[in-house]
Structure formats: structure tokens, C-alpha cells
Amino acid sequence: MTTCFCLVRHGETDWNGEKRIQGQIDIDLNAIGEAQARAVRAGLAEHSFAAVYSSDLLRAWRTAQIATAGLGLAVSPAPTLRERHFGVLQGVTAQEARVQRPDVLHHHQARTPDYDCETGESLIVFAARIMGELGTLAARHAGQSVLVFTHGGVLDIVHRAATGRALDVPRDFSLPNAAFNWVEHGDAGWRLISWADCAHLQRALDEMLE
């Protein structure tokens, strides 16, 4: 049986605007992000879901709470769907890292699969965490539709899994704040349905290019 997922990146934060790497640092939404979450709620009104899950990081959790208010959907915390831990790059911009840690930034931008940014997660470990959890949810909700609130890095991994794209290939698809991204899981594995639907939004920043 097929499980359908609607994956939503959290609303905008001040650090998104600054292009500052958030990782697992717990940053809240800004006013634009809250407005995006309300727009998500309006966009979700025409859909129905058997379950809703959210990363427990504040920016995703707040997006989920605002977006599901009044829709009769209870949100379950899913810590395993947190953003990747970017090690020593967390809290800095690419420009700052270019001065402070050019060696680490090089591996990050090259998407070296087994590099953990010193004290963080490698792409290999991160991908295993994300796809393992989504596989568990797919089995739990076989034949149903599931709504998930999460992060840009998580969506990057899911898109690659659904299209057969390697972890170290440069990204050529967008990851906007608060967009709708639809994938499904069935006997043949993961399949992309539609991506980066922003029709309900007035503004949506893309995830930092790596």
C-alpha cells in the first residue's frame, strides 16, 4: 500500500534572512514566518491527513502549531526529523566560515558525504536518520496521507531519495520556506509527486545553497 506525504519546511526565521546556518540551534519564527504558517493553514484546508508530525525544533514546531490550528489535527513531536547537525558551522554564515574555517566550509559546499563538520553529522548519517524515520512512518500509516513539518536539509535528503540523486551532487532544486512538497512511498520505494508548491505564499526564501 502507498503512503502519501506532504512535507512542509518551517516558516522564515531571522537567521534565514541572514543566511546563517541554523542546524539544530533552536531559533523561533519571525513575523514573516508566522504569516507563512497561517498561509499554510489556509492551503491545507482542502486536504485531509491521518496524522501530523513535526520536528521538535521551535521553528518547525511553531509552524506546525499555527498551520494546524482549527483544523482538528493533533501534532506529534518527531525529534528524529530535526535538521542536520552542522557541527562547527552552526551559527555562522558562509562568509564568516570562509574566514574562520575555510577547510570545513570546503567540505560542506562540496557535499563530502562522510564529513561531519567536526562534531556534527555527516550526510550519510543524516540521510540514514531521516529516511529511516520516514520509512517507519510510511509503514505505520500505509494507505494514508501524512503531514510533516520539518527543515530544508531534511527536504534535500527526501528529494534525493525520491529521484535517485546522489548525496554529493550539487542541488538544483528549490527548498522554500513553508512550501508544500509531496512524495509517496510504496512497493517500488519513494516517488516524487510535486515539489516546492508556493501558490499559497506571498514570500518564501530558498534554503541556503550548499
Q: Which residues are catalytic?
A: 10, 83
Cα 110 to Cα 178: distance, rounded to the nearest angstrom = 26
Longest dimension (CA), the chain: 51
β-pair type (145-150, 3-9):
parallel
Write the DSSP assignment of 97-150 as a string of letters.
HHHH-HHHHHHHHHT-TT--TTTS--HHHHHHHHHHHHHHHHHHTTTSEEEEEE
C-alpha cell at 7: 512535507
Ramachandran quadrant class, 154 (left: phi over 0; alpha: psi -120 to 50; beta: rest) = alpha
Q: Which helix (H) or strand (E) element contains residue 197?
A: strand 189-197
C-alpha cell at 62: 511553531
β-pair type (180-186, 189-197):
antiparallel
